Amino acid sequence: MATPPIGHRTKDFRKLFCGVRKKLQKIFRTQNEIFIIPSSATGAMEAAIRNCVDKKVLCLVNGAFGKRWADIARLCEKDVETVEVEWGKAIKPAIVERKLRHNKFEAICLVHVETSTGVMNPLNEIAAVVKKSGALFLVDAVSSLGAIRVEVDKLYIDVCFTASQKGLALPPGIAIISVSERALNKSRSVKSKGFYFNFELLLERAKNDEPLTTPSTSHIFALNKQLEKIEKEKMINREKRHYQLSKLCRSLGKSKGLEIFSEKGFEAPTLTCFKNTLNLNTNALLKFLDSRGFTISGGYGPLKGKTIRIGHMGDYKLKDIKLLFDAFDEFLKGL
């Protein structure tokens, strides 16, 4: 990221941008078009809705980010229906199948890993149900892609997106979106897409290996380097490491008296959400851990004070989890 910026309409940047997008296709496991946008992942949520929905969309909701996607769709004046399950539970394919039996939607939105609850929804099984319906499949892979395998082409995912700060282990600032030909065709028929997230305009520039608007060139340099590191580690090893991290985190948390909040069998390998079974002052805990060089999160939204979330995605190692729980022990002894 310390590389001096270069002009984003230069030959050197076009070469860099082209190479990064090709590397990203490997991470997404797709031949689809890749767009890189200077935005948070919330921008990618809005992009998916604006380009792929003319009227009717189904949002699958089991936490804060599924709810956010539904809220965005309503603000974009779409006809929104939801399938909602209790926070902490996973969305099961049978529920989706029942909803689709008597309803038609242009697109279906799923958050793969719900960051607010630590639940990983069964992507592969839900993808099979969506495919039968003929609807476009839009997937938030923010807390999964780059850490665990997401098979975009194999699962017929039409729009899949992530952001730089999670599995890719970079500072926040860019959203990355994989877009299928079906999604691009739909975008061509949808009105009022705006400018910034317009797939047609993004594609027009991408054909010349250029971004639509001024990018964060520092992020692109860093992303290129990080993708080289991921390729060297190999995705199969990266995924294995994340499952090891989650297993260790859950084990150490349980040994301190914490219980897992996420539904059994659907725990995310990228973050662990614990119930606050020890009735800890979570603000005091977070402040103490911060003083020891660790940042974790308390409960999100209505779960504030009720849960503790530990992210272990990206470049973390097993020793990092152990050091975190050493500091957690120190906090407990001071109570």
Residue-level pLDDT at 15 = 98
Q: Does residue 36 form part of some domain?
A: yes
Is 22 within a domain?
Answer: yes
Residue at 198 is within a domain? yes
Does one domain contain both 223 and 269?
no
Strand ranges across the sheet with 33-37: 33-37, 175-179, 159-163, 136-140, 107-111, 56-61, 79-84
Residues of the chain falling short of pLDDT 50: none
Of 8, 26, 4, 25, nearest in space to 17 by CA: 8
Share of the chain above pLDDT 70, in %: 100
CA 319 to chain centre: 25
Q: Residues 250-270: pLDDT tens digits?
A: 999 999 999 999 999 999 999
Residue partners of 154: CB distance under 8 A and separation at least 6: 29
Task: Look at residue 43 and tell me if it is in a domain.
Answer: yes
Shared domain for 228 and 242, answered yes or no, is no
Domain boundary among 233, 258, 287: 233
Q: Does 84 share its domain with 224?
A: yes
Is residue 270 within 8 Å of 313, Cβ to Cβ? yes
Query: For residue 285, what are the domain limits?
Result: 235-333
Do 262 and 219 share a structural domain? Answer: no
Compute the Cα dihedral for 250, 253, 259, 260 and give only its sign: negative
Last residue in a domain, options 178, 201, 233 = 233
Say yes or no: 225 and 242 in one domain. no
Phi/psi at 201 (nearest 5 deg)? -70, -40
Same domain, 124 and 245: no
User: Would you give the DSSP letter of residue 107?
Assistant: E
With respect to residue 240, please indicate whether it lies within any of the assigned structural domains: yes
What's the pLDDT at 326? 98
Separation between Cα atoms, residue 108 and residue 136, nearest integer Å: 6
What is residue 147's predicted lDDT score, i.e. its pLDDT? Answer: 98
210 with 243, same domain: the answer is: no
Q: What are phi and psi of 110, to 5 degrees?
A: -135, 135
Residue 116 lies in a domain: yes
CATH of the domain at 325: 3.90.1150.10
Final residue of a structural domain among 212, 233, 254:
233
Asked whether 48 and 195 are in contact (CB, 8 A), the reply is no
Q: 172-211: per-residue pLDDT in tens? A: 999 999 999 999 999 999 999 999 999 999 999 999 999 9
Same domain, 224 and 240: no
DSSP for 207-272 reads TTT--SS---HHHHHHHHHHHHHHHHH-HHHHHHHHHHHHHHHHHHHHHTT-EE-SPTT-B-SSEE
Same domain membership, residue 131 and residue 46: yes
If asked whether residues 224 and 245 sit together in one domain, one would say: no
- Report the share of the chain in percent with pLDDT over 90: 100
Full-model pTM: 0.97
Look at residue 115 and tell me if it is in a domain: yes
pLDDT computed for residue 40 by the predictor: 97
Domain co-membership, 123 together with 269: no
* CA 177 – CA 180 distance, rounded (Å): 10
Per the domain annotation, does 3 fall within a domain? no
Looking at the structure, tell me whether residues 217 and 239 fall in a common domain: no
Number of separate domains in the chain? 2
pLDDT, tens only, 142-180 = 999 999 999 999 999 999 999 999 999 999 999 999 999
